[in-house]
Structure 1
Amino acid sequence: MDRIGVRNEALKHSSSPPPLAPPVTCSTSCTETVNGCHEFKISGYSLAKGMGIGKYVASDSFVVGGYTWAIYFYPDGKSVEDNAGYVSVFIALASEGTDVRALFELTLLDQSERQRHKVHSHFLRMLDGGPYTLKYRGSMWGYKRFYKRSLLEGSDYLKDDCLIIKCRVGVVKTNTEGPKTYNIAEPPSNIGQHFGKLLESGKLTDVSFKVDEEVFAAHKVVLAARSPVFKAQLFGPLKDKNTDFIIVEDIEAPAFKVLSLSLYEGFSSAACFVPPGKSVKSTSIDNALFPLQYIFYAQKTVLLHFIYWDSLPDMQELVGLLNSSWASTVMAQHLLAAADRYALERLKLMCEAKLCENVAINNVATTLALAEQHQCEQLRALCLKFIAVPENLRAVIETDGFNYLRESCPSVITELLRYVASSGDHSFVTSGYGKGNLLDSTDGNGRRVKARLY
Structure 2
Amino acid sequence: MAASSANSAAPICIKEVSVGSFKFEIYIKDYPCFESSPIFTFGGHEWRAKCRIDFLKHVELLVVLISDADAVKATIDFSLLDKDGGEIYVTNGCFNVLCTIFIASDTTKVKPNQSSSDLLSDSDSLIEHLGDLLKSQNISDVTFEVDGEIFNAHRVVLAARSPVFMAELLGPMIEGNKKCIKLEGMMAEVFKDLLHYIYTDKIQDVGTKFNQHLLEAADRYALDGLRKICEDRLCRDITLDTVVSSLGLADQHNCGKLLDYCLNFAAKPENLLQLTLRQEYLELMKNCPSVFAKLSERASASLDFQKIIYKK
Same fold (TM over 0.5): yes
The one-letter amino acid paired with 2:202 is S
Partner in structure 2 of residue 332 of structure 1: 211
Q: Alpha-carbon deviations, 1:46-96, whole Å to 9, x = none? A: xxxxxxxxxxxxxxxxxxxxxxxxxxxxxxxxxxxxxxxxxxxxxxxxxxx
The one-letter amino acid paired with 2:297 is R
Q: Quote the offset at 1:309 in angstroms.
A: 1.0
| Counterpart Cα distance in 2 of 1:312 and 1:237 | 31
Greater Rg by CA: 1
Please tell me whether the aligned partners of residues 247 and 263 of structure 2 are also in contact (alpha carbons under 8 angstroms).
yes
User: Secondary structure at 1:222's aligned position in 2?
Assistant: helix
The one-letter amino acid paired with 2:261 is L
Q: Alpha-carbon deviations, 1:333-374, whole Å to 9, x = none? A: 111010000000000000000011100111000001101111
| Counterpart Cα distance in 1 of 2:199 and 2:115 | 32
Partner in structure 2 of residue 306 of structure 1: 197
More helix by share: 2
Partner in structure 2 of residue 404 of structure 1: 283
Partner in structure 2 of residue 245 of structure 1: 180
TM-score (normalizing by structure 1)? 0.40
Please tell me whether the aligned partners of residues 232 and 239 of structure 1 are also in contact (alpha carbons under 8 angstroms).
no
| Counterpart Cα distance in 2 of 1:242 and 1:400 | 46
What is the root-mean-square deviation of aligned Cα atoms in Å?
2.3
User: Secondary structure at 2:175's aligned position in 1?
Assistant: coil
User: Secondary structure at 1:240's aligned position in 2?
Assistant: helix
Partner in structure 2 of residue 379 of structure 1: 258
2:240 aligned with 1:349: no
Partner in structure 2 of residue 368 of structure 1: 247
Counterpart among 409, 414, 423 of residue 293 in structure 2: 414
| Counterpart Cα distance in 2 of 1:294 and 1:182 | 40
Partner in structure 1 of residue 190 of structure 2: 295
Change beyond 3 A, Cα 1:413–1:241: same
Q: Quote the offset at 1:427 in angstroms.
A: 8.1
Q: Quote the offset at 1:397 in angstroms.
A: 2.1
TM-score (normalizing by structure 2)? 0.57
Please tell me whether the aligned partners of residues 196 and 308 of structure 1 are also in contact (alpha carbons under 8 angstroms).
yes
Change beyond 3 A, Cα 1:231–1:389: same
The one-letter amino acid paired with 1:220 is R
Please tell me whether the aligned partners of residues 146 and 187 of structure 2 are also in contact (alpha carbons under 8 angstroms).
no
Please tell me whether the aligned partners of residues 143 and 151 of structure 2 are also in contact (alpha carbons under 8 angstroms).
yes
The one-letter amino acid paired with 1:219 is H
Please tell me whether the aligned partners of residues 162 and 222 of structure 2 are also in contact (alpha carbons under 8 angstroms).
yes
Partner in structure 2 of residue 220 of structure 1: 155
Q: Quote the offset at 1:193 in angstroms.
A: 1.1
| Counterpart Cα distance in 2 of 1:183 and 1:417 | 54
| Counterpart Cα distance in 2 of 1:246 and 1:182 | 43
Unaligned runs of 5+ in 1: 1-180, 252-290, 316-326, 430-454
| Counterpart Cα distance in 2 of 1:197 and 1:294 | 19
| Counterpart Cα distance in 2 of 1:381 and 1:213 | 37
The one-letter amino acid paired with 1:231 is M
Q: Alpha-carbon deviations, 1:356-402, whole Å to 9, x = none? A: 11001110000011011111101100100111100010112223332
Partner in structure 1 of residue 139 of structure 2: 204
Change beyond 3 A, Cα 1:212–1:312: closer
Partner in structure 2 of residue 17 of structure 1: none
